[in-house]
Amino acid sequence: MTRFVDQDLTDAEFRECDLTRARLIGVVMQDAVIDGLVGNLMVNGVEVTSYVEAELDRRYPARRLIGSADPAELLRGFRQLRADWAATLGRPNGLPEGSEHQRVGGEWSAVETLRHLVFVHDSWFRRCCLGSTALFTAIGLASEAVPDQEAQGLDRAAAPSLHEVLAVRDAQGAELERWLSAVTPDELSAPAPVPTGPGWPPYAKGKSVLECVHVVLNEEWAHHGFCVRDLDLLRRWTLHGR
């Protein structure tokens, strides 16, 4: 167990860390940001996760829909997400040229975020929900944790334009929308038809189709929030001459 005692962690960044059962005792925490898969979080003796979840659902009604098991609600939620993305992606046009490729705070740029969702669609939807054995779209972007990326069809040297990525995203979005329009509750509750053999994600075997769809939709929602956050920061920097 790692213990930090009387340490000044001001401006520290913990990225892709497992902090399960971590205890922060007698700490000073001002202007801190926690962003991740958080559950059963106690703050000064109060379990706050339920408050956070309720507030997120209030702010983003589509979030409740995309967590549903009802095909009609999933479809409505996804259509709302597509509309939100369409509204957001017009925003780089009001920023300096190249802003869509600019990273903020070490996070993915807007184009990289969209490329990651291309990868999510190929892996968690096509492979896990449809049972596809096709190679992934070359411009998709996976995290460093994904092994054998080239063997799965990804081109790590790819540098597509926003227009090129949006063309792929439009086709993928239409594909998922058609599928959600036709899928039944029984099909959603069935085991995911993940192909045998290597491929990402390796831990999808044993999950239901619904669980895999939830991953896709949750990624869409979460990364839209990241993109909006970073575009807002870029806009403020532009206005203040940074």
**Where do the domains of the chain lie?**
70-239
Measured in Å, how far apart are the chain's first and last C-alpha atoms? 42
pLDDT digit string (tens) for 75-121?
999 999 999 999 998 765 667 788 899 999 889 999 999 999 999 99
Who has greater pLDDT, 117 or 57? 117
Q: Choose which CATH entry (1.20.120.450, 3.40.50.300, 2.60.120.260, 1.10.3720.10) describes domain 70-239.
A: 1.20.120.450
Give the Cα separation of 44 and 41 in Å (integer): 10
Kindly list the distances between the CA atom of residue 100 and the CA atoms of 195, 235, 238, in Å, as whole numbers in the listed order: 35, 12, 13
pLDDT digit string (tens) for 12-39?
888 778 888 787 777 787 878 887 778 7
Instruction: Let me know: does 128 contact 201? Beta carbons within 8 Å.
Output: yes
pLDDT of residue 105: 86
pLDDT digit string (tens) for 146-196?
999 999 999 999 999 999 999 999 999 999 999 999 999 999 999 999 999
pLDDT digit string (tens) for 201-235?
999 989 999 999 999 999 999 999 999 999 888 88
Give the Cα separation of 140 and 156 in Å (integer): 9
